[in-house]
Structure 1
Amino acid sequence: MTGAERIVHTTCPYCGTGCGVEARISPSGRVEVAGDRGHPANFGRLCVKGAALAETLTHEGRLLHPIVNGTRASWRTAIDHVAGNFRRTIEAHGRESVALYVSGQMLTEDYYVANKLMKGFIGSANIDTNSRLCMASSVAGHKRAFGADIVPNVYEDIEEADLVVLVGSNLAWCHPVLFQRLDRAKAARPGMRVVNIDPRRTATSEIAHLQLSLKPGSDVALFLGLLRFLEKSGRRDADYVRAHTSGVEEALQVAQVWSLPEVAAATGLDEMLIERFYEIFAATERTLTIYSQGVNQSSAGTDKVNAILNCHLSTGRIGRPGAGPFSVTGQPNAMGGREVGGLSNQLACHMELDDPRSRELVKRFWGAETIADRAGLKAVELFEAVGDGRIKALWIIGTNPVDSLPEADKVKRALAACPFVVVSDAMAQTDTAAFAHVALPARPWGEKDGVVTNSERRISRQRALLPAAGEAMPDWWIICRVARAMGAEGFDYAGPAEIFREYAALSGHLNDGGRAFDISACQEIGAAEYERLRPFQWPWRRGEAAGATPKRFFAEGRFFTPDGRARFVATPFRPPESRRSAKTPYVLNTGRMRDQWHTMTRTGLAPSLSQHIAEPFVEIHPDDAARVGLQPAGLACLSNEHGSTILRALVTDRQQRGALFAPIHWTDQNAGAARIDALVAARVDPVSGQPESKASVARIEPWPAAWHGFALTREKPGRIAADYWAMARTGFGWRIELAGQKEPADWDAFACGLLGKDESSGARLAYAQDARLGARRWIFSQNGRPTGLLFVEREPVAASRAFLCAEFEKAEACDARALLAGRSPTGVSDDGRMVCVCHGVGANTIEAAIADRACDDLDAVGRLTRAGTGCGSCRPEIQRMLRGAETQKPAAQISPGVRLVESLE
């Protein structure tokens, strides 16, 4: 009704948890978001990223119109240009000369028509998805063991389990809502146990009874030893193995040599610790193993998956309440892409390219004249083919491969050399869009409409909240228009509901139960029913009531292999392919942070999400830092044969000796030299094609700076003339860390250029200098309010970032002298670095509560400060503070109470 508030139920666009979101839209278009209490994935909980979604609903930075060769164009011109170039390329060089690279951010309907265009009308399987980078090894492992890509368990198994084993998953930061579910289950059932297997001690370690910090890449050895232990100790479920599996003898033969001493040597773990884990696993019937990127992103990722699955098959703990292997996906529709066939070695709807019967079935269903008859190029191979000229026309949809693929500088060079590149994106300025001959404006979350599938096979609607910005269109519409312009039939859909009906019909077409994926109950769904569609788990077969099928797979021991038996897979241990050397003596691990997502094109818009960690960093053990002469909070150069970065050093014993960790999120849009995937080697798993993002090698050394700077500005700067810089959003504008190896010839000109000030701006200037410290400070203001600030010193700037940002946030005039001092006046509290974003509670406030008020648990801290009482994402960090486990101390103190650089923990 006009003038009334609207309530829209949708889903979160971040991780694969698939949380329900309730959005309230006012008549003026203002949006407020909260968790959807009725959604079974989250029951009303959101993490800090989901809670901040409304902050990202802005037109700032959006791609609003089609762009062809740098010039604004009409949709008709752009569509005809893309279709014509693809058609001419195919005519001249064959159908294998074109490719699509798509994304787990796409909705299922978008995925479906992209797959249909490429594998059906064009007849090539050269379509792959960025899900190849996160979940392909799980897909391959599932198919080898179960005969189909099936996650057998459901989220409620977290509450049902007596033992949860986390492998290669920083659940607390990467799937925070699931972590909170585990935390609550553990609190409600004190007998429940948690084992965390990860080379790093992460926020997730705070919940673990047992932390196994094994050597990077040694997971297979650990689980081979477990398989052997189960056999030798008589814990194998012989009846289950005999009745429902095959291949156990071959698997055990490989595991035979993995005694405790052998496992200890390979993993670096103490034998007693290993044996304790084995005993707990063997003795606990309801064991749930949750694994993620630390398992998948490996040159032995598929073997890691099967090594885990072997142990569950050996004990018969699969498909039962609280028991089974559970792969948690990284993206909101990674599962949907797998179902649709978005990977280059899939056909569609769990049908395989190498099966002639399936190819004929899909070809007839689509009414296609041709069909892809062999696997296409996987992601890393695809961009290698772009680089060597085999791929001459490439369409990238909803992803940023210049920053996310391994050997990312090589990807840059490949795109620069490609004759024709199309990029569909919501944002105008990305590192990948810079190479586009054609840029097509797509609709992001909040404007697009369709379905997604989460980690527990639950399909949910993602609904539009607001009108589209500019001329942005849905991905399905763009793909279908290009297909029709190329002469394809069968792409004249009226909307996503019609695409979904066709997709559902294909899933059940001639499906006699031999294909696990079946949602044919939805094949006649009307537009109104589609709009009202509630979350459901597949399978949902035609003629069945929703929820009639058991929610877990394999409880009865029947699998999707030809003989119905699960397969044990022999998994010989192979260490990571990249080996340390004198030139590159450190193992480099990469991953996510708590409050950011992928390359920050969405989360980077939300000021609140930059408050926790605002600068790219590298974690290094104190002994290694001392060995290379790297000071805490100093700048470090990481390098190898593929590239280099400059990052802030976080010196912490949470990191193993000989290993480094750096986050994946920073790009050339928000930092000067922080694209960490430039250093990741393009080593891939031979089965899945997934790259090894967790075990590259690098060297690290201090990066000597002649000066360091910190700036605040209300206007986004243009080019930043500094060797090192990192920029983050704030509520008033931007904060910037800077450094250089050579001082500018004219410091005043540098300050004015950075902050966008000149004589015509009318800004008032306050300036201070301390020659002894090599310190200079500029503050520009208008009407008493600060508009720009730059502090420069020889050492990292000694100033309270929290205080300075808070002063800029104020609406009233400020004390220029306090700003020049860079710290709170005596008696004024300084909240410190942000820990709890939901309630704006900083580390200093929490530390004071712990020290002064004798808060001895999380609930007491929450009652006093409200920290940890919102989404809960910060609770592991508060727990670590309570335990006195923070090892990152201020590098130095130049004046009382002023930290050199804030802790990054």
Structure 2
Amino acid sequence: MTHEVKTTCPYCGVGCGVIARVTDAGDVSVSGDPDHPANFGRLCSKGSALAETLGLEGRALDPIVQGKTTTWDEALDLVAGRFQETIAEYGPDSVAFYLSGQLLTEDYYVANKLMKGFIGSANIDTNSRLCMASSVAGHRRAFGSDTVPGTYEDLELADLVVLVGSNMGWCHPVLYQRLAAAKAKRPGMKVVVIDPRRTATSDLADLHLSIAPDGDVALFNELLLSLMEQRKLDEGYILGNTEGFEEAVAAARRMGLAHAAATGLSHEERQAFFRLFGQTEKVVTCYSQGVNQSSIGTDKVNAIINCHLATGRIGRPGMGPFSLTGQPNAMGGREVGGLANMLAAHMVIENPTHRERVKRFWNAPAMAEKPGLKAVDMFEAVADGRIKALWIMSTNPVVSMPDADRVKAAIEACPFVVVSDMQADTDTARLAHVLLPASGWGEKSGTVTNSERRISRQRPFLTPPGTARPDWWHMAQVAQRMGFSGFDYTSPAEIFAEHAALSGFENDGERDFDISAHAGIDQADYEALSPFQWPQRHGQSRTTTRFFAKGSFYHADRKARFIALETAPPCRTDKAFPLVLNTGRVRDHWHTMTRTGKSARLSAHLAEPFVEIHPRDAAGLGIAEADLVQVESAHGGAVIVRALLTDRQKPGRLFIPMHWTGETAARARIDSLVPAVTDALSGQPALKHVPVKARRYQAAAYGFAIRAFPGKVGTGFPSGNAQEQRARAFPCFRETLKRSSASKPDLKGLSYWALAKADGGYRAELAFDAAVDWEDWAREAFALGKNAEMIGYHDAASGDARLAFFEENRLVAAVFVSRQPVAVSRDWASEQLAQDFSDRRARLSVIAGRPGAGAVDRGAIVCACFSVGVNQITDCLRKGCTTVEDVGRQLSAGTNCGSCRTEIRRLIDKTYASSSETASTSLPESVSA
């Protein structure tokens, strides 16, 4: 029999519904929930692979104090005692919480209540500060509240969708597919993409504007002036519902001719956009990290909102500005006041009436009276000793924070650090004095809120491993041990009911966030809770799902504010650091890969860190395709990544993804390059505009290696299956985990390495500063026993070496070395870890590094959902397929999440020579395979 549980995806802010199915044998599978209104059954590649990420490798299983396993009572008593001692000696502002958009709303609520209402400090912030704080600040300036006016349906109803700083095709794939489907049904719908890079999302665009970094304010200021010239203003809306219009126009005019230079766009490009925006009534402008992650991010947000207010295109079907959040519960964190400058239920910490109201509701003894330290300032306070006790929950700031090396040093020097995490081996968790094992997705219960204000349940379908417990329980237990009342929760349902009650407490329409209809929810109703959008006020069975069509904003006079903006983009490059670095995400990985890194399928598309660089820049620097590149910033950091030459990147600009950590690569923590420059209003770091220089990194030898998990062919430690479920139930699973971890290659000390999961083991890209005895190196790095039989060769003249190691009938390791980036069919080689080699003649194919005659080599993976490679697609095209749809019918590629459709189309263009833009149709195998 199979047990089904409806839950919500733990990745981006789209908030897709998921159905998890668990058999009696313990096998887990996932599919999209066709009834969930966010995705209607669709899932992206990451969501589709969720069952593959449930492995226990690296999981925190028991509380650990100073590196030694202990009991919950001992760990929690220590945390409570040290926080009490620190507060008693140095005051409440000497402690801090750093949270995560990965937390559930109930976790966030307890943390905010404990810190702001009982400890009495607002030093509680979140990694959501890194993704949507500028949007919050912009909303509050314009609307008087952090309100997202529209819904996902508006993207399908609009006649023009403008995507600003959003690679929706890779970062919000399901929403992108909803947009693509709508455009296919209504070919007259237009899409404009405003992004310095030509991304996968640009494939859908009728107009792509390759704007200069941080040129957005200038572009939308000029749009505001153009709307006046086109007589497209809604003067009645402006007069009746807004303030500050004349000041905003005057500021835009003062920028004058600076508009053109700041945007980097031609007059013709700008005018085409302005006409399209002006002549189309139903316009939705979606924006994401390219807008928010900037030192002028809040001004960018308000520049966009200004144009929608001026035309009255807000709060009506198919119209409005729309912030796309990056994390699954960034919105939920905002609702409970998870940011240092907010209070719960969208109340304002600077407002004494709000503070007094929340204090009464909580019966709080020590209400915080001023905003706390935002993320960058918080870690600066840790570094200089003002913060002496720090609790980090479900996030990895040693990798994700700007000035990452300084953040690491600050945490190392902090007198007392607590980390709550499901993983014990993150770069941050290794620095903890106390590590508290947290339950993860599939094990915990609570709610999340997506980008359209829709609250959905995350439900458990697995038993937490070891003694792991949910985050809210960690904090409630510590609060009780600190002597605080009001934290005797026994379930997340009780916390949600309290949260809902607070949202309606003394709220007569003054505040936008109100879910008091659920204030009396009991356990049964909580378990059955269906996805719903707020507001849902007490006594109202149905409320509108959009805001501001008729005004009614949340400033005291109920009017919106135009913001006067004269912001010029910062100019930070110089002769020493002439390139502009942009950081971001890739299609199949999430944040610092603690979850997606467990799936071999998700690593098959992009298995190592890379830098996108224009061929002209590469030629000037002597960099060839697949070379290693060292990138350095004026800030002082340096990384080594693989070169990906592409004219999708403009000259003078680089792009490097942010996912690789000290666990997955030698020197690829990209935020070590990023200085701690922030937006003055939002505190959000500028992660998209970093001056850098680049040079070719010359290694003595390059390599590719594979290493099998322990055990027989077809075993090891796969994810989400019956073996693992049984392992959860018996103490011996700790030994299983230990053996699995022991097979992880030891690559420390190499100048370059990048490690990823493969089917049945690991795969690694390597570079050496000097040649070594390759057999000795491999036996030591892969922890191979003396019984491992080696076959292969080493050609001293050419520098080539190819070695394969077998135990009984199984390939346990192989290494391929060359003086140039090594040519190996990587995906095929990785698959050999799961093969039976009882036929000794077959072992020679491993040394060749590619399949023999008649065998299938998929090539570099293009479609992660169905593991379809470039060779399969190319073969399909040679046999007569001419469209993406043809390829989908033959191979299924592009028919699930659709994120690979752009790459398929580029392969088609290359094959049929129908486009001049085909020099970089597929990633080099050393990067993509």
Q: TM-score, normalised by structure 1?
A: 0.96
1:423-442 residue pairs with structure 2 within 5 A? 423-442=419-438
Q: RMSD of the alignment, in Å?
A: 1.4
Give 1:854 deviation, angstroms: 3.1
1:561 and 2:555 are equivalent in the alignment: yes
1:481 and 2:477 are equivalent in the alignment: yes
Q: Would you say the 8 A contact 1:409–1:642 is kept in 2?
A: no
Name the CA distance, whole Å, in 1 between partners of 2:775 and 2:858: 32
Name the CA distance, whole Å, in 2 between partners of 1:196 and 1:809: 43
Name the CA distance, whole Å, in 2 between partners of 1:886 and 1:610: 24
Counterpart of 1:444 in structure 2 is 440
Once the two structures are superposed, residues 347-387 of structure 1 have per-residue CA deviations (whole angstroms, 9 ceiling, x without a partner) of 11110011111110000110111200000000000000000
1:731-746 residue pairs with structure 2 within 5 A? 731-744=759-772, 746=773
Give 1:886 deviation, angstroms: 4.1
Q: Would you say the 8 A contact 2:746–2:782 is kept in 1?
A: no
1:622 and 2:615 are equivalent in the alignment: yes
Match of 1:146 among 117, 138, 143: 143
Q: Would you say the 8 A contact 1:20–1:44 is kept in 2?
A: yes
Letter paired with 2:610: F
Letter paired with 1:659: R
Letter paired with 1:837: A
Match of 2:375 among 354, 379, 383: 379
Q: Would you say the 8 A contact 2:907–2:922 is kept in 1?
A: no
Name the CA distance, whole Å, in 2 between partners of 1:454 and 1:642: 37
Once the two structures are superposed, residues 662-702 of structure 1 have per-residue CA deviations (whole angstroms, 9 ceiling, x without a partner) of 00000000111100000011100000000000001111001
Counterpart of 1:18 in structure 2 is 15
Name the CA distance, whole Å, in 1 between partners of 2:226 and 2:23: 60
Name the CA distance, whole Å, in 2 between partners of 1:10 and 1:878: 32
Name the CA distance, whole Å, in 1 between partners of 2:163 and 2:318: 14
Once the two structures are superposed, residues 625-654 of structure 1 have per-residue CA deviations (whole angstroms, 9 ceiling, x without a partner) of 111111111000011233110000101111
Match of 2:641 among 637, 647, 657: 647
Counterpart of 1:606 in structure 2 is 599
SS of the counterpart of 1:439? strand
Counterpart of 1:894 in structure 2 is none
Name the CA distance, whole Å, in 2 between partners of 1:107 and 1:212: 37
Once the two structures are superposed, residues 273-329 of structure 1 have per-residue CA deviations (whole angstroms, 9 ceiling, x without a partner) of 110000000000000101000000000000000000000011100001111000010
Match of 2:362 among 339, 363, 366: 366
Gaps of 5+ in 2: 709-742, 911-916
Letter paired with 1:15: C
Name the CA distance, whole Å, in 2 between partners of 1:602 and 1:842: 23
Once the two structures are superposed, residues 189-221 of structure 1 have per-residue CA deviations (whole angstroms, 9 ceiling, x without a partner) of 010000000000000010001000011111111
1:404-419 residue pairs with structure 2 within 5 A? 404-419=400-415
Counterpart of 2:6 in structure 1 is 9
1:751-830 residue pairs with structure 2 within 5 A? 751-759=778-786, 762-811=787-836, 813=838, 815-830=842-857
Counterpart of 1:696 in structure 2 is 690
1:872 and 2:898 are equivalent in the alignment: yes
Give 1:185 deviation, angstroms: 0.5
Paired positions, count? 886
1:722 and 2:719 are equivalent in the alignment: no
Give 1:574 deviation, angstroms: 2.5
Q: Would you say the 8 A contact 2:219–2:259 is kept in 1?
A: yes
Name the CA distance, whole Å, in 2 between partners of 1:653 and 1:673: 26
Give 1:796 deviation, angstroms: 0.8
Counterpart of 2:719 in structure 1 is none
Q: Would you say the 8 A contact 1:98–1:391 is kept in 2?
A: yes
Once the two structures are superposed, residues 195-251 of structure 1 have per-residue CA deviations (whole angstroms, 9 ceiling, x without a partner) of 000000000010001000011111111101100101122111111111111100000
Closer, same or farther: CA 813–315 of 1 in aligned 2, 3 Å: farther
SS of the counterpart of 1:504? helix
SS of the counterpart of 1:105? coil
1:819-858 residue pairs with structure 2 within 5 A? 819-850=846-877, 852-858=878-884
Name the CA distance, whole Å, in 2 between partners of 1:795 and 1:112: 54
Letter paired with 1:445: W
- Give the stretch that moved more between structures: 180-189 or 880-889: 880-889
Name the CA distance, whole Å, in 1 between partners of 2:836 and 2:29: 23
Q: Would you say the 8 A contact 1:29–1:466 is kept in 2?
A: no
Match of 1:592 among 582, 585, 590: 585
Counterpart of 1:861 in structure 2 is 887
Counterpart of 2:171 in structure 1 is 174
Name the CA distance, whole Å, in 2 between partners of 1:552 and 1:161: 14
Counterpart of 2:298 in structure 1 is 302
1:888 and 2:888 are equivalent in the alignment: no
Name the CA distance, whole Å, in 1 between partners of 2:164 and 2:524: 42
SS of the counterpart of 1:256? helix
Q: Would you say the 8 A contact 2:638–2:673 is kept in 1?
A: yes
Give 1:507 deviation, angstroms: 0.4
Give 1:827 deviation, angstroms: 4.1
Closer, same or farther: CA 243–889 of 1 in aligned 2, 3 Å: closer
Counterpart of 1:538 in structure 2 is 534
Q: Would you say the 8 A contact 2:5–2:21 is kept in 1?
A: yes
- Give the stretch that moved more between structures: 811-820 or 243-252: 811-820
Counterpart of 2:181 in structure 1 is 184
1:636 and 2:629 are equivalent in the alignment: yes
SS of the counterpart of 2:369? coil
Letter paired with 1:660: L
Counterpart of 2:650 in structure 1 is 656
Name the CA distance, whole Å, in 1 between partners of 2:796 and 2:70: 55
1:205-224 residue pairs with structure 2 within 5 A? 205-224=202-221
Match of 1:58 among 55, 60, 64: 55
SS of the counterpart of 2:778? helix
SS of the counterpart of 2:420? strand
Closer, same or farther: CA 178–811 of 1 in aligned 2, 3 Å: farther
Counterpart of 1:896 in structure 2 is none
Give 1:890 deviation, angstroms: 9.2
Letter paired with 1:510: E
Match of 2:196 among 196, 199, 202: 199
Q: Would you say the 8 A contact 1:834–1:843 is kept in 2?
A: yes
Name the CA distance, whole Å, in 1 between partners of 2:99 and 2:588: 24
SS of the counterpart of 2:354? helix
Name the CA distance, whole Å, in 2 between partners of 1:806 and 1:771: 29
Match of 1:279 among 262, 275, 278: 275
Counterpart of 1:91 in structure 2 is 88
Once the two structures are superposed, residues 86-114 of structure 1 have per-residue CA deviations (whole angstroms, 9 ceiling, x without a partner) of 00000111111000000000000100010
Match of 1:344 among 323, 340, 350: 340
Counterpart of 2:101 in structure 1 is 104
SS of the counterpart of 2:274? helix
Q: Would you say the 8 A contact 1:333–1:454 is kept in 2?
A: yes
Name the CA distance, whole Å, in 1 between partners of 2:410 and 2:544: 48
Give 1:902 deviation, angstroms: 3.7
Q: Would you say the 8 A contact 1:889–1:903 is kept in 2?
A: no
1:492 and 2:485 are equivalent in the alignment: no
Once the two structures are superposed, residues 389-422 of structure 1 have per-residue CA deviations (whole angstroms, 9 ceiling, x without a partner) of 0000000000000000001000011011100000
SS of the counterpart of 2:344? coil
Once the two structures are superposed, residues 726-766 of structure 1 have per-residue CA deviations (whole angstroms, 9 ceiling, x without a partner) of 0000111000000011223x33210111222131xx22210
Give 1:824 deviation, angstroms: 2.3
Match of 1:684 among 678, 690, 706: 678
Give 1:877 deviation, angstroms: 1.9
Counterpart of 1:79 in structure 2 is 76
Percent identity over paired residues: 56
Name the CA distance, whole Å, in 2 between partners of 1:749 and 1:902: 25
Closer, same or farther: CA 340–83 of 1 in aligned 2, 3 Å: same
- Give the stretch that moved more between structures: 48-57 or 876-885: 876-885
Once the two structures are superposed, residues 578-616 of structure 1 have per-residue CA deviations (whole angstroms, 9 ceiling, x without a partner) of 601222111110000000000000000111110111010
Give 1:270 deviation, angstroms: 1.3
